[in-house]
Amino acid sequence: MKVYRNLKEFKPLKNAVVTSGTFDGVHLGHHKIISMLKAAAKERNGESVVITFWPHPRLIIAPNDQKLKLLSTLDEKIELLEELEIDHLIVLPFTREFSELSSENYVEDILISGIGTKTLVIGYDHRFGKNREGGFDYLKKNADRFKIDLIEIPRQEIDNLTISSTKIRKALTQGNISTATGLLGKPYSFEGLIKKGRQLGRTIGFPTANVHVSKKYKLIPSNGVYAVNVYLRDKVYNGVMNIGNRPTVEGIGITQEVHILDFNDDIYGETLKVAIIEFIRPEKRFEGVKELVSQIEEDCKKAIELLSK
């Protein structure tokens, strides 16, 4: 897959088969759309092209809206799309100026002149252009003028796509990991820099890595204890993660702390990726360190059980 960070890097194709969207999380609903795209490209002897936008449009249109949490960063999205073996990925920078582009200019300047679109895979309710004025009906009405063949994504597929994104976010914020994993088609993950904290875990026999997620828009699941896979130094380890404010030791602020099983190296300053396999229990306050240690021991046993399945 070739990746282009703006349209200037892209040379128009003779036979581009195109679809577009935000593709947050690249979940199973997106997989279905990409499958339609690839099948259409193969049938027409063309090349598959995915257009996505970055930053997410809502981050530009409503910059003060702190409610939006995304399932994937741009790098994660690119990596996930690459696994689906499309030919070209164009990341269009979404700016205020871009949001003012008319539907006519979007089709003429980007789809036709910029990409060489001959076939467009598009949902019946997909909107584009200033004030979302363009859509499937607009393209169909002007099909002869634009000379673009349209493949409509059925309403059922669109409904599934919309529901999936909403359900995944809701499931993760409620600790319903199995639902999120089923809709994503893979465990939800995030990565971050390992920063030095108060190192209290080390004093009770359970050293933890404090994972700092720099992207504020990246969705972090609900507070609680989780069984996780840890990706570090090109290896995969079993682990237990606590998300929360560590009430027993009077923690300040929400943190993501991971205890890697059977591992005790110094990894401060390194980057670690966590894949969430299952929810173990809610975070709670214990009467003292002894009770906390006893519970962590049980958490580790439960994690090993869950991760061995």
Q: What is the pLDDT of residues 106-147, one digit of tens each?
A: 999 999 999 999 999 998 778 888 888 888 899 999 988 999
What region does 236 belong to: left with phi over 0, alpha with psi -120 to 50, or beta? Answer: beta
Q: Give me the pLDDT at residue 206, please.
A: 85
pLDDT over 70 percentage in the chain:
94
- What pLDDT is recorded for position 63? 80
Maximum C-alpha span of the chain: 75
Q: What is the band of 243 on the pLDDT scale with cuts at 50, 70, 90?
A: very high
Q: Which residue has the higher pLDDT, 55 or 165?
A: 55
Q: How far apart are CA 196 and CA 269, in angstroms?
A: 8
Q: How far from 189 is each of 62, 89, 98, 287, 293, CA to CA, in Å? A: 26, 22, 31, 32, 27
Asked whether 246 and 206 are in contact (CB, 8 A), the reply is: no
> What's the pLDDT score for residue 234?
94
The secondary structure of 138-158, three-state, reads HHHHCHHHHCCEEEEECHHHH
Query: What Rg do the C-alpha atoms of the chain give, in angstroms?
Result: 23
User: Is the separation of the CB atoms in 279 and 176 below 8 Å?
Assistant: yes
Question: What is the torsional sign of CA 227, 22, 126, 3?
Answer: negative
Determine the length of the chain.
309
Task: Give me the phi and psi of 249, to 5 degrees please.
Answer: -110, 20
The partner residues of 153 in beta bridges, in order of sequence, read: 123
Residue 144: exposure state from Cβ atoms within 10 A (0-12, 13-18, ≥19): exposed
* Catalytically annotated residue among 47, 76, 191, 257: 257
Q: What is the DSSP letter of 114?
A: I
**Higher per-residue confidence, 251 vs 110:** 110
CB 106 within 8 A of CB 132: no
CATH 2.40.30.30 range(s) for the chain read 188-307
Share of the chain above pLDDT 90, in %: 72
Residue 236 has pLDDT above 70, yes or no: yes
- Please state which of the four CATH numbers 3.40.50.10420, 2.40.30.30, 2.40.160.40, 1.20.1050.10 is assigned to the domain occupying 188-307: 2.40.30.30
Q: Is 257 a catalytic residue?
A: yes
Predicted confidence at residue 198, as pLDDT, reads 63
More confident residue, 247 or 207: 207
Residue that wins the pLDDT comparison between 46 and 195: 46
* pLDDT at residue 241 in the model: 97
* Pairing mode, strands 224-232 and 235-244: antiparallel
Which of 67-76, 198-207, 253-262 has the lowest average pLDDT? 198-207
**Mean pLDDT over residues 213-227, rounded?**
95
- In this prediction, residue 142 carries a pLDDT of 92
- Location of each CATH 3.40.50.620 domain in the chain: 2-168
CA distance 49 to 69: 26
Q: Give burial (CB, 10 Å; 0-12/13-18/19+) of 196.
A: exposed
Note the pLDDT of residue 246. 65
Map residue 73 onto helix, strand or coil: coil
- Between CA 249 and CA 34 the distance in angstroms is 48
> What distance in Å separates the CA atoms of residue 232 and residue 270, rounded to the nearest whole number?
8
The reply to whether CATH 3.40.50.300 applies to domain 2-168 is: no
